[in-house]
Structure 1
């Protein structure tokens, strides 16, 4: 009887942990989507970083600085240089504290653009870390498959 009760409690505990992990991944996913909408679609960098990003944000892109304030400065210069920049999220995946975005970035509507995979780590309701991989969209493809 004790074994059955202990087994049942363990099963319930594991189920609740899985539900909590799924809920966390879902809320992290929405947090990142809200961040990119405000930062890159509405182009409200300061507000986006203030609301969603930790001050000691870690940036793994070798061409970008660490820290939310430094990121706002660098991205602000980019947005000034390319005011028509388009950041279109094509796919989203999340697992626990990690959110992956597959993005089509273009500096103007007629640009073929770049394929971007942005990876964010979320902790305590804030984006704390970021990685990205960027590849130019070719005008011709050997595979004949679109990148998006």
Structure 2
């Protein structure tokens, strides 16, 4: 009986860890749904122009120092990017919101051999549109000094 319980406990622990690693962002409100729909259309369906038209407001303030304000720079950059990286994909791991701000923690890869980047995007939503954006982008290292991944954790979903 003890052996059976030990095996069951081990299985449940492994299954829980596996589920934790596969956690996906689940929207809890309209702003989160809007941002996740924008992400899917822009980065997974590779339709940045349609995503911008549907989800970005007339005024779009950009805080990434490499990108100008407005939706056109976003569209132009990613339209060209997806032509040269047709297998690029974004895996949204968690979404957090407070008031008009939505934060998405994601993994972005250009293809199966790419280790990818860990990205934290912060969006401000007003009147049902994305109107402001901040981001922090970090390459995913081959090894971690602490043994933790950049995505799994107790609150991965």
TM tier, shorter chain? 0.7 to 0.9
Contact 2:48 2:74 in 1 (8 A): no
TM-score when normalising by structure 1: 0.80
Aligned: 1:126 with 2:129? yes
Deviation at 1:55, TM superposition (A): 2.4
**Where is the helix percentage greater, Structure 1 or Structure 2?**
1
Deviation by residue 1:76-112 (Cα, 9 ceiling, x = unmatched): 1222222211111001001110000000011111211
Higher Cα Rg: structure 1 or 2?
1
Q: Secondary structure at the match of 1:138?
A: coil
Q: How many residues align?
A: 124
Distance 1:64 1:79 in 2: 17
The answer to whether residue 13 in structure 2 is matched with residue 29 in structure 1 is: no
Find the residue that maps to 1:100 and give its secondary structure: strand
Residue segments in structure 1 that go unaligned for 5+ positions in a row:
1-24
Matched, 1:147 2:150: yes
Q: 1:83 aligns with which of 76, 83, 86?
A: 86
Runs of 4+ in 1 over 2 A off after TM superposition: none
The higher relative CO (CA closer than 8 Å, separation ≥ 6) is in: 2
Match in the other structure for 1:102: 105
CA–CA distance in structure 2, aligned partners of residues 134 and 99 of structure 1: 16
| Unpaired runs of at least 5, structure 2 | 1-27, 152-157
Structure-1 residue corresponding to 2:54: 51
For 2:74 and 2:117, how far apart are their aligned partners in 1?
20
Aligned equivalent of 2:114, options 87, 111, 114: 111
